[in-house]
Structure 1
Amino acid sequence: MNDSVAGNDRPEHSQGGTYTVEGQEFVRDQRYIPTRITRDAVDGFPVEPGRYRLVAARACPWANRSIIVRRLLGLEDVISLGTPGPTHDERSWTFDLDPDGRDPVLGIERLQEAYFARDPEYPRGITVPALVDTQDGAVVTNDFAQMTLDLSTEWAEFHRPGAPQLIPQDPTERAEMDAVMQEVYTEVNNGVYRCGFAGSQEAYDEAYARLFTALDRLEDQLSGRRFLMGERITEADVRLFTTLVRFDAVYHGHFKCNRNKLTEMPALWGYARDLFQTPGFGDTVDFGQIKEHYYRVHTDINPTGIVPAGPDLTGWTTAHGRESFGGDPWGGGTPPEPVSAR
């Protein structure tokens, strides 16, 4: 499962990640609940405003992408948001940020309760993000990759006016974006974890080389274009951003991804700041929760639980100069309204 897992059936436990060690290499468990919420309700779950609750911890990169997409598309009034705190125990993510430690809509203390409402013997990790049906309190799906694609396509009728087209309609461009997203996932999103949880020097060295080979390639590509697919934001940018925004704060030191910092890669640093300053991206990020999550939950890597004071994060709001590439981030649309309490 993703790195944001808690509880159950794990050969090894990290942070939350459920993974196996094959030749001392980190291998992510990618088994998810594949049910989808669609317009034709083929899986039994129809698109229905107000029915579903997105449970997504702000600390988690996989959950963060769902929060970003929900906000960019203007689905705040259509799909409610529940936010567990930044840490969890062996059993589950908990709603310790809410009054009385319970999600105010689902009425539960632990996300585990929603998984067990779906399957009382649910055998795998308790992951975020998860979409929960408020009618019975059961998880519908935790397939984070398909989830955001469906928010763009199946929920299109309920997008805000001016919402960006995060999924290209042209088949050729869509195929190109899918290939980019696959590389971003395997080499960068998951690459930092292969470094952090490598079980041997050899496995770490290989993971480290793969990660920075990919980052160097992206540095080169983004030296000549504003966004991954060209002149406008797509889902590919959302997926890369959630790793980049955590890079210096946690991955550089905590996961030993320390050839250089993001701030030392000019194109990637400018690109990341460009997105951070774009409504829907930086306003979903909580650096305090991110640091607390990684440094307190990963006791196998950081047994003292000490959360470092640095790095200095003020640079995220400095000028990036990426406007010189031209284009329109919104592809003819408009940015979302300021953040609401929803």
Structure 2
Amino acid sequence: MNTRKRRKTKFGFILIACLLIGVIVIGCTSKSTSIIFVDKLGAKDVFRVNDSVCTLSEAKIYLTNLQDQYESVYGCDMWKTKCGDLTIEDYVKKTVIAQLAQIKSMALFSKQYNIELTQEEKNTLSQAAKEYFSGLSDEQVKDMDITVEDVAKAYSDYLLASKVYSSLTTETNTEVSDDEARVVTVQQIVINKHSLDQSGSIVPSTEEEAKEAYSKANTIYEKAKNGEDFANLAENYSDNDTCELSFGRGKLENSVEKVVFNMENDELSDIIETEDSFYIMKCINSYDIEATDANKEVIIEQRKAKAFDEVYEVFLNGLVSEFNEELWDTVTLGDDGDVKTVNFFDVYNQYFEE
């Protein structure tokens, strides 16, 4: 079991970092943003956003950190495994560039709002950088080609980005009612009206098929109503492999959600019809307090991300970027099975924990 402390996300922009893959790395449809591939970058510069440059050394800090996390869970032999159209290696590399592109962009954004680091923050960053750097082996320092100053710069940009996000979301409404955030736990039986073709696509049901599906659902409903074990019925008859699930509002179809959020513990629903299926629901917990409290935080973060995006996306459209694709293509993962190192964000959180 991996006992490494999970990285904390101090602000919500990491959650939307993948947007930057499209905006900065691959391209953008905005006429005010131009994407230029390797023209003015130095030999060891991975990309530039306006006048802010990300060096290969800085990128390797993030890449090594993420590589360590992946390998601690999945081992060292999965990098060439396909994940959709990409290998896991390519996916991780794109993730790193997206994350760094956003951090660099937000550090630039700080100038518009006169957001700066205090002297105390700079001193603390210096201490954090020394601690992280001291945890690297000589071989890692050589491979990453980094200095303690490189680490301090990476921490500086990250903290600036965090301060920008905090500044732009301070007025976000953080009042979330219990009902808005309420999480319920139910068991379900799903009887599909439709069938699937050889490619797995849904084939719309005929009127006769819909009647047969309802008849089947009604038979199961009568069994449940007469006291037969609901979980057993779900296992034997449901077209959905998931019997028990917990969720908040907005996760299921409206017709199902409307019924579920008005049920009491142990209550059995009537048969609920949607376009594709019939549902029979049994309420296990109409108000999961712990999950509801956690969902409140999720809702608040979603609100903050939305408020931030409204301002930040305008700024993004005015950026010019260059990407040294040829240099980044030379970077590979999995050559060394022992990349374990101190966690870049764990050290950061020790010094800048909320």
Larger Cα Rg: Structure 1 or Structure 2? 2
TM-score by length of 2: 0.22
Higher helix share: 2
